[in-house]
Chain A
C-alpha cells in the first residue's frame, strides 16, 4: 500500500482498513420501529403521565381512581396507575432507564462491531454481536453495485450500498453510509474492480514524477478553499476519525457548518438521482409522466384488474358477499403493484458512466444501480399488443446473481427500461452493448417491428405456420459483432439479444412434430433471469448450421472478451486525457497542486458531491 498505489481514491474508505458505518445505521436498520413504538406508548401515556407527576410530587392531592391497590386486575387495566399505587415508581423508572441504556448500548455495540473494508481483492463486512458473521465479495466477481436511499435514510442523509455478486443472496450490504460517501465508495469499488488499479497506478506515478512533485499523499496537501467548503456540509458522523476532510471541517465556524448542513441536506434531497459529476449530465431516456401512467394502465395487469372488478361487481350484485372478501385483497394487491410501478418509474434515468450503466429511479425512496460492463448476459425488448399503437417498448436484462423469484425488487433490477419508444430502445441498447452498438444498431429496427425476410434476418419457412400460426413470419435470427439477435412474437413482440461472449451453452432440439415438418428449435442458455433466448422454429439444416456457428463463436468471443476487466483496456487512453480535460475548472486555479489532487475524470471531487 504505497502512496501512489491509491491515488485516485474519492473516499478514504477503500484503503484496505476496517471502517465503521454511519452511526445512525442501527437506528435506521431496526431502531425506527423501536422509536415508533416508544412514540406510540408515550403519546398514549401522556395524560397518565400528567396525573403521575401530580401523584408523585403532590402525594396529598386527590387520588385518581380511588379504588386503592387491592386487586390484581388493575395491573392489567392500568399498569401505570398500579405502579404508582404500590409505590414502585422508583423501580419502574429504574427499569425504564436500564431498558433505554440497554437499547443504546446494543445499538452502540452493533455499530461498533459492524465494520467493513475494501481491499484490492474484495469487499468484506463483519457484523453481529453474539453471532459474528464475516462476508466477503471478490471484486472481480462483482455483478453490480446498488445504492438505495429509502425515505427515512434520505432524511438522515444516508444511503445503503449493496455489492451484488453472482449467487443466490450472496450480496454484501453496507447499510448505511453517508450519502456522499456511498457514492464515493461505489466509484472506488468500481475503480478497483475494473482492474485499472495497476494500470492507473503506473500512469499516475509517471504523472506525479514528471512535474517533480514531492508528495503523493493526499492527506498532507494543503486543502484548497473550494474543497474545504464541501466537507463542512457533512460534519455529522465521525465514522472516519482520521479523514483529512474532518480536520478541515473542524476549522470552519460552527454556524456556517450548521447552516451548511441544512442546505446540503436539502440539496441532497432535491438532487437528481444521477450524480452530474459521475455520469454524463442527462439521462439518455426521458420518461414523461403520462407515458408511465398510460403504459401501466395499458399493461397486462389492467386485464386482471378488469377481470377482478367484473367478478366483484357480479358477486356483489348477485348477493354473494364472500366474493368481496376473497377478491378485494387481490384487487388491493394489484392496485398497489400498479402504483409501485408508477412511482418507481418516476424520475427514471439511465446513463452511461465509465464504470458501467447507471440506472436510477424512485421518487421518495430512491435507488440506483450500476452494472459494470460485461455483466449483461441477455437483453430483451418487448412490446405488448396494447402498447403497439403508441410504439412503446420495455427492456429487460439477465444478469448473474438475480434470483428466479419474481420478487418486486429483483424484477425492478432486471427492468432496465420500464417503457420507452423505439428510439429509447436504441439508446439503451447503445449503453448496454457499448462495444457492439454500432454494428448491432441496423438490425434493431428490423428486429423490433419487422417481419419476413429482410433487414438481415433469416426467414422462417411457411410450414412453420403449423406450429406458430401468428408469429412465424416474425421469427428470425441475425448475428452481428458477437451478438445474436432473435426476433419473435406477434402479440407480444420481442427482440432478444445475447452477447455470445457470455452465452453459457446452446442447445438444438427436435421434437416429433418438428421432425415431420423438418424444423428445429434453438435455445441459447444464459444465466437465469426474465429473458429466455429461444428461436422456436427454424429450418432444420439451418438450425444445425446456426448451432455450429453459435458454439464456435461463443468460444471465440469468450476467449477474446476482456470487458469484465474493462478498466485495463479502456482506461489507458482515458487517463492520459484526464489530466487536461478532466477537472479543468477544479485544478486550474491551483495549478501547482494539480498533480497532487489526482482525481480521475469519472469520480467526483469530495466536497460538492450531490
Chain B
C-alpha cells in the first residue's frame, strides 16, 4: 500500500487543458449565440455582450493554471484533506471511515489526456469532494488506497 504522507499533492498540470477546453467550448457557444443575434437582428447590445463574454472567458482561461495549481489534496493519518479555489477557497476534511464509495469518472478530453476524476462520497451530500485531473494509474492507486484506509477505519453511518 502507498505510504500515508503529510504533504499536499497537486493534480496533474495537464488538467489545465481539460478546463481550458471546457471554457473555450462555453465561450464559443455563448459568443456565437450573441453574434448570431447581432448579425441577424442588428441588436447593438448583443455585440457588447459577446465582447464581455469573450473578455471574461479569456481572463478565466488565463487564471486557469493558477486555479488548477490550487487544487490540492493530502492524505493524513485519519482523514483526507482537499482544498481548491483562489477567489472562493474551500477546504474539506473527510475521515476515511466515512467513505461510502469512491467513484472514478473520465470525460472525453480527460480520457484523451489519460486523466480521471475521483469522487469521494460520504453519507452527506454536501461533502462534495471531487479530486479532478488525476493520471489514470494514480487515480486507480488512490482509489485502492482510500478503500483500504476506509476498511481499517470503518465507522458507523
A residues contacting B by CB (< 8 A) are 141, 143, 166, 374, 400, 501-502, 504-512, 515, 523, 525-528, 547, 550-552, 554-555, 558-559, 561, 564
Q: Evaluate contact between A525 and B122: CB separation under 8 angstroms.
A: yes
3 shortest A-B CB distances, which residue pairs?
A551-B93, A504-B124, A525-B124
What residues of chain A lie closer than 8 Å to B94, measured between beta carbons?
Answer: 504-505
Contact with A along B71-103 (1 / 0, CB 8 A): 000000011010000011111111101100000
A331: min CB distance to chain B, Å? 34
State A536–B91 Cα separation when bound (angstroms): 15
Interface-lining segment among B9-17, B18-26, B31-39, B149-157 = B149-157
State A564–B81 Cα separation when bound (angstroms): 27
State A374–B155 Cα separation when bound (angstroms): 12
What residues of chain A lie closer than 8 Å to B97, measured between beta carbons?
Answer: 555, 558-559
The answer to the question of B50 belonging to the interface, with a C-beta cut-off of 8 Å to chain A, is no
State A525–B92 Cα separation when bound (angstroms): 10
CB contact list, B110-157 vs A, under 8 A = 122-127, 129, 153, 155-157
Of the candidates A166, A510, A555, which one forms a contact with B95 in the assembled complex, judged by CB atoms under 8 Å apart? A555
Q: Evaluate contact between A547 and B153: CB separation under 8 angstroms.
A: no
Q: Evaluate contact between B124 and A509: CB separation under 8 angstroms.
A: no
What residues of chain A lie closer than 8 Å to B156, measured between beta carbons?
Answer: 374, 502, 558, 561, 564
State A95–B138 Cα separation when bound (angstroms): 71
Q: Evaluate contact between B88 and A561: CB separation under 8 angstroms.
A: no
State A332–B129 Cα separation when bound (angstroms): 44
Of the candidates B81, B88, B126, B153, which one forms a contact with A525 in the assembled complex, judged by CB atoms under 8 Å apart? B126
State A528–B155 Cα separation when bound (angstroms): 18
Of the candidates A374, A547, A561, which one forms a contact with B93 in the assembled complex, judged by CB atoms under 8 Å apart? A547
What residues of chain B lie closer than 8 Å to A512, measured between beta carbons?
Answer: 87-88
B112: min CB distance to chain A, Å? 32
Q: Which DSSP category, helix, strand, loop or mixed, fits chain B's interface? A: mixed
18 residue pairs from A and B, CB less than 8 Å apart? A374-B156, A400-B123, A504-B127, A505-B127, A505-B129, A506-B93, A507-B92, A508-B90, A508-B91, A509-B88, A512-B88, A515-B89, A525-B124, A527-B123, A551-B81, A555-B78, A558-B97, A564-B157
Interface size classification for chain B: 20 to 34
Q: Evaluate contact between A528 and B124: CB separation under 8 angstroms.
A: yes
What residues of chain B lie closer than 8 Å to A374, measured between beta carbons?
Answer: 156
State A506–B93 Cα separation when bound (angstroms): 5
State A561–B156 Cα separation when bound (angstroms): 8
A189: min CB distance to chain B, Å? 18
State A51–B155 Cα separation when bound (angstroms): 74
Number of A-B contacts (CB under 8 A): 88
B129: min CB distance to chain A, Å? 7
Beyond A504-B127, A507-B127, 12 additional pairs, beta carbon < 8 A = A502-B157, A504-B124, A505-B94, A506-B93, A507-B91, A511-B88, A515-B89, A526-B124, A554-B79, A554-B95, A559-B97, A561-B156
What residues of chain A lie closer than 8 Å to B122, measured between beta carbons?
Answer: 504-505, 525
State A9–B137 Cα separation when bound (angstroms): 54
B9: min CB distance to chain A, Å? 18
Residue of A nearest to B83 (CB): A508
What residues of chain B lie closer than 8 Å to A141, measured between beta carbons?
Answer: 157
Q: Evaluate contact between A510 and B92: CB separation under 8 angstroms.
A: no
B4: min CB distance to chain A, Å? 13
Residue of B nearest to A525 (CB): B124
State A166–B95 Cα separation when bound (angstroms): 19
Q: Evaluate contact between A505 and B93: CB separation under 8 angstroms.
A: yes
A505: min CB distance to chain B, Å? 4
Residue of B nearest to A565 (CB): B156
State A213–B95 Cα separation when bound (angstroms): 51
Q: Evaluate contact between B89 and A400: CB separation under 8 angstroms.
A: no
What residues of chain B lie closer than 8 Å to A527, measured between beta carbons?
Answer: 123-124, 157
B154: min CB distance to chain A, Å? 9
Interface centre among A502, A504, A523 (most CB of B within 10 A): A504
What residues of chain A lie closer than 8 Å to B90, measured between beta carbons?
Answer: 507-510
Q: Evaluate contact between A400 and B157: CB separation under 8 angstroms.
A: yes
Residue of A nearest to B77 (CB): A555
What residues of chain A lie closer than 8 Å to B129, measured between beta carbons?
Answer: 505
State A425–B143 Cα separation when bound (angstroms): 44
State A526–B156 Cα separation when bound (angstroms): 13
What residues of chain B lie closer than 8 Å to A564, measured between beta carbons?
Answer: 156-157
What residues of chain B lie closer than 8 Å to A547, measured between beta carbons?
Answer: 91, 93
Q: Evaluate contact between B157 and A166: CB separation under 8 angstroms.
A: yes
State A552–B78 Cα separation when bound (angstroms): 8
B66: min CB distance to chain A, Å? 15
What residues of chain A lie closer than 8 Å to B88, measured between beta carbons?
Answer: 509-512
What residues of chain B lie closer than 8 Å to A552, measured between beta carbons?
Answer: 78
Given A505-B122, A509-B88, A512-B87, CB of A525 within 8 Å of CB of B127: yes
State A511–B86 Cα separation when bound (angstroms): 9
